[in-house]
Every structure is written in structure tokens, then in C-alpha cells.
Amino acid sequence: MPIEVIFPKVDMDMASGTIADWHKAEGDLVDKGEALFDIETDKATMEVESPGTGKLHFVSAQRGDEVPIGQVVAWLFADGEEVVSQGGIPAPAESHLSQEPAAIQTGEDTRIDTPKFDDGVRATPVARRIAKDRGIELLLVVGTGPRGRITRADVEGYVDAAEKVAAVVPASMPAASAKTGAQETADELGLCYDLIPVNKMRSVIAARLTESKSTVPHFYLDADIQLDALLELRGKVNAAGAEAGKRKISINDFLVKACALALMKVPEANASWDGDQIVRYQNAHISVAVAVDGGLVTPVVREAETKDLRGVSGEIADLADRARAGTISSAELKGGSFSISNLGMLGVKSFNAIINPPESMILAVGQGVEQFVPDDNGNPKLATVMSVTLSCDHRVVDGALGAVWLQEFKSLVEFPLGIVLV
């Protein structure tokens, strides 16, 4: 009996994904569990294993195609099984979105009934009727039924979510994907330009950050922090580590650990807004912003307060390497309770970062710059000063609470022995 190759749901937030590449070609023999194709989500590229053993036929989604969850993208035929193209199996040259599967005819005259659909989406008749009545594009709805099938509850949940967003986002605000008229203006003036397609990661970043700035009441707290004691301690730690052949600890590693310890000292700030309640985390899960090709991801160092400095450093390096290689899992990019974004190594003195919901705070870190500051006697002394900006969600973190957290963080950085000893 032929086996369907279904486009799987590899991330709870995804309604569709992109075929990044096929490991097998039409007619190739594939073993169960063998890597079959790669999916590009908004966060990473992930391998999909073959659901069975057989020869690959009727591949209906090619590299670069965006495919809805639950869509059949190919079929596997066992050895000796007749390869036919009837009803349920789309011919290779035809679009998988234009098919209306009904049944499959095999060599043993065995028929497999499959759900009918005319838009490439698996959905119940009731869900389709509601979506049609409300003018909803089913490709935008995430299905929770078997094999990603969209149910009535899924459509109604989508409607409720859309109404909540509409209630808080001004009607005049353009959608994240709306055209700005730049191309039209450039054409009118005869300007030369290139058109760069927006990849899935960049599209999701645009949507999420637009939503964050539209729905989360941001406010910002700035502080200047002297780094000299931390730089001196870091030098000693790395010198001792070099003798043992250990990798160097970065300033950012110290800062991530300091963020975690500050959250433990001010637990009220380690929280998220969740409608009619606040979720307060018992551990510090620090999201670390990492630039990758085409965008930005935030892998999470879980329970960072429980790990020593070298443990934090090694985990950050591993997560960052796998994020850039596209092999990081979606679970490792979720569940942060606080974010840190460091642009100091790029010469940026200060900036305001956008909160990554459902987190309530993000720390923007700038470059350490030498400048004169007063010493204990009021005399000028040369010091290395780092500017930081804390973005807070006012629904969860009030100004005084954010200031207390920032004071604890500053104290840890300026007297860094506590970061190493904890």
C-alpha cells in the first residue's frame, strides 16, 4: 500500500513551511527513518525523516515551495507495488495545490480514501464553511486535528485572536507585509535597484516585532556601568583557563550570568503577561540574541542561574554555532524569561531593543568606551564605561521594579566576583 509523505508540523507556531531541499530524487529508494527532505521554518532548517521504506514518486513540492501543514508532498511505493497516478496521487508536473484527491489505485486494487480539498489544506467541512463565511484564508489557520487537519475550533480560535489584535492595533497601521511604495517611486524616478524576496524568517520577525511594538507598552531605563573590575577579573579567569586549555570567557558570558542572578534577586521582574494573569518563572531562562543569515534568533540558556560561568559560556557558544548552522531545534528557541542583545562588539554605544513576547524585559548592551568619571574623592579618573538600556513591558514591570533590577545588574557587573563565585 503506498505511503503518504506528509509535510509535518515541526513548530507549534507554524501554519506552513518551505521545502529547503530534497535529499532524495524521484525514483530513489528510501529507507524508513532516512533523511528525506529539509524544512525551512522561521527559526531553523530541520530534517524530515522518511515515514516508511519504498521508492519515492510523485514529488509535488519542489525546493523553495511553501507548503501548508498536512499537505501530501510525495508518495512511497513498496518494491513490486504498481506505480499509478489516479485520483489521490498528483502527477509530478501538476501543482499540489490544484489537486482534489479522492483515492489511490494500487496493483492489488486496494483503495485509500483521503480527505477532499481544493486548496491544498486539510480541513473539516464545518471549518471550511465558517472560514468562507468569515472571509478567512485557511492557509493562515494552524490545524490541531489529525495530520494537521483544521477543525471548527481552530477557525473559531483564529477569529478570536484576530479580533483581539484588531481591538488594540490602530486601523490605520499598515500590515507588516504592506508595500511602502518604494518600488513605485524608484520606477517613477528611474532609480536602479534590486528586489530581494523576503524569506520566512524575516517575514516572521517583521510580524512579531510589529505586534510587539503595537501591543506591548514599552518604556526604557538607561544606565552607565563601569567595566574595569570585570575586565580585570576576566583577564585573570582567561589566563588561568589558558593554562588548562580552556576556551576564553567573553564579556557577554559574564553579562548573561549577571542577568540571571539579578532576576533571582528581583523575582517579580522574572515574569510574563498572560492576559488575566502573570506568569512568574522560578528560574532564569536567558534568551541570547544571535545574528544568522537572513535574520535573528534567540536561543535560550535555561536555568542560567544554576550554571557556573564556564557552563554558561560553553552553552552559549554551542547554541550560537547550531543556530548559525540552522540545526538548532525549535524547543531551544522558546521559553525565555528575559533577553539580552549585545551590539557592543560592533561599535554601537547604545540602542533601544524591542521586547520579544511573551518576555517582559530585554537588555540592550552597548560598547565599553573609555571616559573620565569622578572617583570617590570627586577627582576625575579614566574608566571603561558601558551603556545599557532596559526595555520593559509596563503591564508586568513598573518603573520602580525595572530600576531595582537594573541596580542589581549594575552592582553585579561593577563588583563581578559574585558572578564567578555563584
Burial class (CB in 10 A: 0-12, 13-18, 19+), 303: middle
C-alpha cell at 7: 509535510
Catalytic residue among 57, 96, 285, 394: 394
Which CA distances in Å does 244 have to 183, 240, 248, 312, 378?
57, 7, 11, 18, 42
Q: What are phi and psi of 21, to 5 degrees?
A: -175, 155
Q: Beta 45-49 vs 35-40: how paired, if at all?
A: antiparallel
Task: Please indicate whether residue 394 is annotated as part of the active site.
Answer: yes
First vs last C-alpha separation in the chain: 60
d(CA 333, CA 315): 13
Q: Where are the beta strands (DSSP E) in 69-141?
A: 72-77
- Asked whether the bond before 217 is cis by omega within 30 degrees of 0, the reply is no
| Residue partners of 80: CB distance under 8 A and separation at least 6 | 107
3-state DSSP helix/strand/coil % of the chain, to nearest 5: 35, 25, 45
Radius of gyration (C-alpha) of the chain in whole angstroms: 26
C-alpha cell at 380: 576625575
**Contact at 8 Å (CB) between 157 and 142?**
no
d(CA 314, CA 319): 9
Q: Which residues are catalytic?
A: 394
